[in-house]
Amino acid sequence: MTPAAGIMQSRSGAAPAPEDAAVLSVRGLCVSVRTEAGLRPLVRDLSFSLRRGETLCIAGESGSGKSITSLAIMGLLPPPAVRVTGGSIRLHDTELTALPEARMRGIRGERVAMIFQEPMTSLNPVMTIGTQLAEAIRAHAQVGRAEARSRALAALRAVRLSQPERRMGQYPHELSGGMRQRVMIAMALALRPEVLIADEPTTALDVTVQREVLDLLRDLQRDTGMAIILITHDMGVVAEMADRVIVMRNGSMVEEAPVERLFSDPQADYTRDLLAAVPRMGQGAGRPAVADAPVARLSDVVVRFPLKGGLLGRTTHHVHAVEQVSFDIRRGETFALVGESGCGKSTIAKAMVGLVPHQGRIEVAGETLSAVDPGGMKQLRRRIQMVFQDPMAALDPRMTVGDQIAEPLVIHGIGDAAGRRARAADLMQRVGLTADQLARYPHEFSGGQRQRICIARALALQPDLIIADESVSALDVSVQARVLELLRTLQKEFGIAFLFISHDMAVVENISDRVAVMYLGQIVEMGTRAQIFGNPQHSYTRRLIQAVPVPDPGHRRPPGVRPTGDVPSPVHPAGSGPARVRLVDRGAGHMVAVED
């Protein structure tokens, strides 16, 4: 039995539709927002159909209307400002635009489900994962509490969430971004929909989990005939999954074609530009080895988090987030950390800026973090800046973006008010935005635009080292290409070093000078870009590279061998830990882990 079959069953009493029948039909759809100047169109005259068992991918840049289209289908447009102003949306013979909310609630989730882009804003922060999953199941199925929890647990296992029984009792803030996205996918799958709308469902996932999720979606289609609308900026995922592709720009469709024809013979200039911006494996630009002195050095760094239990609240387990990690980052170098969610990449970044306690030695700009007093730490943070994974959580919703970009200059007493405004305006333009947007607030920007604002803020102090934690994962490919080029330009101009944390192996291969591969808190392989991608030695490194989607529908991979059993966990009883590994030099600084 496939993972899909474990959580999906035939819809009782539902006669199967003909294979070529349209499950969903959109005709002449127009969506507008009410402004002081009147209605402004967000989606213009959009038409398409979706057949049973088909995957339709919608691609385009932020603000193109992709997500607004999906919200219109789900009946989730924010009233009263945004509404459907024309056209038709039909699910079989049911006109969705005319349904009252009470009837739409019966369709939403049970017949048409959606996986949202930002899982933290979609999950209830005061309810456990298990309760939320079971509640969603019971809202649409006549089952008892025990059966609902059983289905919820099966859904978490199907999306390969580690320790699913334990996750059932946890809250959203206790999970990583990738784990939260897997919970959202499990929730949608557990409801057994006819149509699944997936809005950037794998953006927060590392490549191995991404491949498992994509394989799972294919299983669902094979077993149930479910139709999928996949919204993504990852053209590798489009090539891997799509039957047909719609390319949108500024609310309008610019091209629609079968996936093979779109990649081989795109008709629109915009589509050609979009495909040209896709990072591809093997196109990394070689650079001379960086020989400058390190701006940061880690020696045998350990980060463990205690887990307490029992009546006396004693420490019973430790999360071994980082174990004996050592590396250095040189001036003008891009050093990449790659690995799956929970491997310790972000924990290392937080330790380097003093946000989590650590053992071992971390030096930044010649200063040892453990020996720096609070005043010295403030000055040291001027030399090292960070771009976080979730831009909405990193920005203050009550401050304009102009004030937030200038805030580091205010904190460090740099320049006057006019100079700071000019600096903020220049940075906005350098990251692809405009100076007249400085007076806006974070909620007025798309996810990709918010990330660019975070990058601009990190650049304000012209630091020696920028830690970029999944800094381009939320960006569509053309914006991603511009931001990566901007980072290269700034690096060349100012000699900035980057610690680049990413699960996108194609991006890492294109931008990095050296790469360290992490697994369960330990580095298992480290070397130059050419060594890691051209001659990977560790089996885990090879698995990461093999899982990268290829942006060519002619090279679709057959479903891989699925992992079995529980996903390994970094949680161990107090006094024990994971197997220790040591790095052995295979020549020219190419380090590979062997178990002690």
Asked if residue 562 has pLDDT above 80, the reply is no
Q: Which of 40-44, 178-182, 210-214, 283-287 has the highest mean pLDDT?
A: 40-44
In sequence order, what are the residues at sequence separation of 6 or more whose Cβ sits closer than 8 angstroms to the Cβ of residue 202? Answer: 181, 209, 210, 213, 214, 232, 234, 237
pLDDT at 214: 82
In 3D space, the residue among 573, 567, 593 whose CA is nearest the CA of residue 582 turns out to be: 593
Q: Any idea which of 1-10, 17-26, 197-206, 267-276 has the lowest mean pLDDT?
A: 1-10
Asked if residue 283 has pLDDT above 70, the reply is no
Asked if residue 268 has pLDDT above 80, the reply is yes
Asked if residue 460 has pLDDT above 60, the reply is yes
Average pLDDT of the segment spanning 185-212: 81
278 vs 271: CA distance, rounded Å: 11
Q: Any idea which of 203-207, 241-245, 293-297 has the lowest mean pLDDT?
A: 203-207
Q: Any idea which of 93-107, 213-227, 532-546 has the lowest mean pLDDT?
A: 213-227
Average pLDDT of the segment spanning 462-480: 82
In sequence order, what are the residues at sequence separation of 6 or more whose Cβ sits closer than 8 angstroms to the Cβ of residue 577? Answer: 318, 320, 323
Query: φ and ψ at 98, to 5 degrees?
Result: -100, -5
Average pLDDT of the segment spanning 514-543: 93
pLDDT at 550: 83
Assigned token pair, 99: 């349904």
pLDDT at 110: 84
Asked if residue 436 has pLDDT above 80, the reply is yes
Asked if residue 3 has pLDDT above 60, the reply is no
- What percent of the chain clears pLDDT 90, i.e. is strictly above it? 47
Assigned token pair, 336: 């990449």
Q: Any idea which of 42-46, 127-131, 323-327, 547-551 has the lowest mean pLDDT?
A: 547-551
pLDDT at 558: 62
- Structural domains in the chain, CATH included, are 3-10+22-276 (3.40.50.300), 284-372+495-544+567-596 (3.40.50.300)
Mapping DSSP onto H, E and C, the string for 391-449 reads: HHHHCCCCCCHHHHHHHHHHHCCCCCHHHHHHHHHHHHHHCCCCHHHCCCCHHHCCHHH
Q: Any idea which of 16-20, 84-88, 454-458, 586-590 has the lowest mean pLDDT?
A: 16-20
Average pLDDT of the segment spanning 438-444: 93
